[in-house]
Amino acid sequence: MKPITALLAVFFGLVAFSSAVFSQTSEKPEDLAQKSAQAWLSLTDSDKYAEAWRNASQGFKTAFPQNEFVSALTGVREPLGKLLSRKLKSAIYAKQLPGAPDGEYVVIQYETSFADKAAALETATETRDKDGQWRIAGYFIK
């Protein structure tokens, strides 16, 4: 390969790499947290409660031992029946939440319908964990 061709190949490789990195880091926290919440919710929708616990934030796992979480979520989700639909209602970024340490959070609400509960409001709170990944920090259904 001629020196100029090799230089151009390296240049275009760096441009492609930096574009990929920029596109990943330029996503808004709300978008990143929503993707994480959707992945976590799909585990709960599939009755994979232990796996959902393993994918939760460190603070969540410290607050709720796995066996207690699995038991509680089973008691809440099973009576609702199969998920029929879930529509994003809101996603709000915050650095402070009542009763939680300061950090980065996104409180996400979904209008959800289950086989045995036509209208429910799911709230999934995501936090940016110490490793920089968004993970579930709280979840409840009204």
Judge whether 89 and 113 are in contact, CB under 8 Å: no
User: Tens digits of per-residue pLDDT, 32-76?
Assistant: 999 999 999 999 999 999 999 999 999 999 999 999 999 999 999
What percent of the chain is predicted at pLDDT more than 90?
80
- Candidates 131, 117, 118, 123; CA nearest to 55 is 131
For residue 121, being part of any structural domain is answered with yes
- pLDDT reading at 8 higher than 90: no
CA atoms within 13 A on the CB side of 112: 23
- pTM exceeding the 0.85 threshold for the entire prediction: no
110 CA to centre of own chain: 13
Residue 17 domain-assigned?
A: no
User: DSSP label at 129?
Assistant: -
Question: What SS3 state is found at 85?
Answer: strand
Kindly indicate the confidence band of residue 26, based on its pLDDT and cuts at 50, 70 and 90: confident
Residue 8 lies in a domain: no
More confident residue, 73 or 10: 73
Residues contacting 70, CB < 8 A, separation 6+: 49, 50, 53
The total domain count for the chain is: 1
43: in domain: yes
Domain range for 80: 28-141
CATH number at residue 58: 3.10.450.100
Tell me: pLDDT of 88 over 80: yes
User: Does 16 fall in a domain?
Assistant: no
Whether residue 91 contacts residue 33, with contact meaning beta carbons closer than 8 Å, is answered with yes
Task: Please state the rounded mean pLDDT for residues 114-134.
Answer: 97
Residue 70 maps to a domain: yes
**Quick check: is 85 in a domain?**
yes
Q: How far is CA 79 from CA 8, 54, 61, 67, in A?
A: 61, 23, 24, 19
Assess contact for 49 and 66: CB atoms under 8 A: no
Rounded Cα distance, 2 and 118, in Å: 67
Tell me, yes or no, whether 122 lies in a domain.
yes
